[in-house]
A = this chain, B = another copy of it.
Amino acid sequence: MTTQNHHLVLTLVCEDRPGIVHAVTGAVVATGGNITESQQFASASTDRFYMRIQVDTPAAQEQFEQELQPVIDRYDIEHTLDVAGRPLRTLILASTAKHCVNDLLFQTDAGNLPLEVPLILANHDTLAPLAGFYEVPFEHLPVKGPEQKAAFEARVLQAVDEHDVELVVLARYMQILSPELCEALAGRCINIHHSFLPGFKGANPYRQAHTRGVKQIGATAHFVTSDLDEGPIIEQNVTRVDHTRSPAELMAIGQDTECRTLRQAVGWYAQSRVLLDGARTVIFR
């Protein structure tokens, strides 16, 4: 790779039929590009074809796009094309819990997560110092009744617009979004739920897990939909526990799993590795 080369990421979704890969790679070759990573999947549930390739190419992004256009047209492809590693403009919604926000900011700062966080919006001011340490703008808007909730959600949409936000992350925000906001953010809003979904939906999953006596507790990162805790799952992890743990201890133990699970989901999304396949996700890890 010479330093003049671009490293581009292309994702493609279309109806599954023969010839797509050959046609797409033809466009890559025509720009003098080399494929450095490539993954594909044909979904039996939806009959759709999914592909993600990373290309090292001397061509400008516009030129690459032009070269690709006939293929896009011929196969009726939905596609995205981006510079690899470009930081994703990400709005974080938070409440009082620190662990997920701390992890996202630390990993971003350490260069492990390609995010750019123009704003953290929270219904409590607990996280203000942490945001300050990482020099991330922080706003606190209390959410104590329907009016304040509406104002908070209006601010979310305004911030999305203002900062050209590409992803909204609910980092243990703990409030249920209105159906309207879910709709407005469809496919670009990720939540971390502190259980192994579909087990223990709704409130207090660690308490539910304790009552039920499960032997592993989990966390699930998923797209937010208006159907609570039913959105497409992006990532899940579990941690072993035993009968000696109280609900509070389960919560403390589970936080690590939450951080890791949310970070992975957000990182994959930022690298265009997460594609929607109906109610499921295709993850090109």
A226 contacts chain B at the CB level, 8 A cutoff:
no
Complex CA gap A34/B218 in Å reads 33
Flag A6-31 by CB within 8 Å of B: 1 or 0 each.
00000000001111011001101100
* A29 touching B18, Cβ below 8 Å: yes
Complex CA gap A215/B236 in Å reads 6
Number of interface residues of A (CB under 8 A): 65
Q: Which of B19, B42, B234, B260 is in CB contact (< 8 Å) with A29?
A: B19
Flag A48-81 by CB within 8 Å of B: 1 or 0 each.
0000000000000000000000000000000000
A213 contacts chain B at the CB level, 8 A cutoff:
yes
Flag A75-94 by CB within 8 Å of B: 1 or 0 each.
00000000000000000000
A173 contacts chain B at the CB level, 8 A cutoff:
no
Flag A195-219 by CB within 8 Å of B: 1 or 0 each.
0111110000000000111111010
A38 contacts chain B at the CB level, 8 A cutoff:
yes
Complex CA gap A170/B255 in Å reads 24
* A212 touching B246, Cβ below 8 Å: no
* B212 touching A198, Cβ below 8 Å: yes
* B34 touching A40, Cβ below 8 Å: no
A 82-114 contacts with B by CB, 8 A: 98-99, 102, 106, 110, 112
A136 contacts chain B at the CB level, 8 A cutoff:
no
A256 contacts chain B at the CB level, 8 A cutoff:
yes
* A242 touching B200, Cβ below 8 Å: no
* B233 touching A41, Cβ below 8 Å: no
A232 contacts chain B at the CB level, 8 A cutoff:
yes
A36 contacts chain B at the CB level, 8 A cutoff:
yes
A258 contacts chain B at the CB level, 8 A cutoff:
no
Q: Which of A234, A242, A255 has the most CB of B within 10 A?
A: A242
Complex CA gap A82/B142 in Å reads 43
Chain B residues near A200 (CB, 8 Å)? 198
A252 contacts chain B at the CB level, 8 A cutoff:
yes
A118 contacts chain B at the CB level, 8 A cutoff:
no
Chain B residues near A33 (CB, 8 Å)? 18
| One of A146-154, A155-163, A177-185, A273-281 at the interface | A273-281
Q: Can you name 7 A-B pairs with beta carbons within 8 Å?
A: A18-B29, A22-B29, A196-B216, A197-B199, A214-B236, A242-B285, A243-B281
